[in-house]
Amino acid sequence: MSLGRVLHRWRDWFPTPSIEGGFGIKRWVLLEANRLAVTGALLTFVFVSFIVLGTIWTYPMQDLLNDTAAVQTILNTLLSGMILLVSIVVSINSIVLSHDMSSVTNQEERVKGASSFRRDLSELARPREDPSEPASFLKVMSRTIRERAQVLNENVEGIDAEAADEVREYVSSVAETAEELGDIDGTDGADFGVLWKGMGFNYGTKIEQSRTLQSAHGSDGSSALDDLFEELIDALELFAIGKEYFKTLYYTREVSKLSQTLLVVTLPAILINASTILAIDAEIFPDFWVLGLPPLQSFVAATFTISLAPYLVLTAYMLRLAAVARLTSSAGIFSLS
């Protein structure tokens, strides 16, 4: 195994060169990184910024922190915000759970719809392929779309040359995109890595282009050509349904992990914040120096960083949720740039 692929295994925790080359820091932060790694990076940035500010601006900072009433007010505000964040977590979980708490009729429709979709996928899958798993689903749909595009490309002789060239150019682009879609080496399907892989496939535009070409040229040749267009459209629509469903599963899992992480992080943050308020009120501080900074500055810097941990966890998760929502918003023929 190449060194690049070995490093790529650790890409969840720190930016390493991707298989294609390059670091892609922005993509790593928004999509690929483990949310705990992003949270840790943000916490480190906050603490280091506070320490650097204290090092550069030592005496004025010391004077500001000696005004313990102001420091306690800020910590009290953060404490209230953390407690409020717990209620927000409960609300988020209620929204997620409300999707599963529905009537028997709705549950029946969901089960029947899922069974019908699974049967359609099973007809396209080969032995030992499980298209209900995201990585296998991407492989199956990539192969199906590519094969149907190639068959369409081989059956355009019945129309005029200009129209045939237009169709060939279109199906060539579809086949090329589908081939890239199926290249999932290094992608961890269990972590919904295929969701990121499928983002570049604008299926809404492809479906609309297929409909346009079918309407313009499908009747110029035999009825078989019109059927081939329809088969390609069916494959694109099947991919669209699967992608949107996996995206829904991703949102459910991500919001659940956000809720769990927030609840775990918030409790120790509240305890440390409250303890610091009491310590400042009693003027009891740890007697240690960090990089030449007085104990009060180091103590307050650490407390502020820990108090901000719940908000930074929320920031880390919302960055990815917002990025996924924006990049996968083209569910139809219209999309915003």
Domain ranges of the chain: 127-246
- Distance (Å, rounded) from C-alpha 40 to C-alpha 261? 13
| Integer Cα distance of 48 and 34 in angstroms | 21
CA dihedral of 92, 13, 245, 112, whole degrees rounded to 10: -90
Q: What is the largest CA-CA distance in the chain?
A: 90
Output the CA–CA distances (angstroms, integers) from residue 27 to 65, 199, 327, in the order listed. 38, 12, 12
User: Residue 195's closest CA among 232, 233, 245, 238?
Assistant: 245
CB 228 within 8 A of CB 145: no
pLDDT at 218: 58
Quickly count: other Cβ atoms within 10 Å of residue 301's Cβ: 22
Alpha-carbon distance 148 to 124, whole Å? 12
CA 87 to chain CA mean position, Å? 24
Type of residue numbered 206 = K
Question: 293 - beta bridge partners?
Answer: 290
Q: Do 299 and 286 form a contact (C-beta atoms < 8 A)?
A: yes
Q: Are 222 and 233 in contact (CB under 8 A)?
A: no
Tokens of 107: 């549950």
Place of tokens 């390059």: 22
Strands (DSSP E) along 132-255, which ranges? none
Please calculate the CA angle 260-264-265 and round it to the nearest 5 degrees.
115
What's the pLDDT at 42? 94
pLDDT of 1: 46
Name the token pair of 175: 């086949």
Closest CA to 136 of 176, 178, 184: 184
CA distance 316 to 47: 17
Beta carbons of 2 and 17 less than 8 angstroms apart: no
Q: Decide: 248 and 318 in contact? Cβ < 8 Å.
A: no
What pLDDT was estimated at residue 96? 72
- Evaluate if pTM is beyond 0.85: no
Helix axis angle for 223-282 and 309-327, nearest 10°, is: 170
pLDDT < 50 stretches in the chain: 1, 188-190, 221
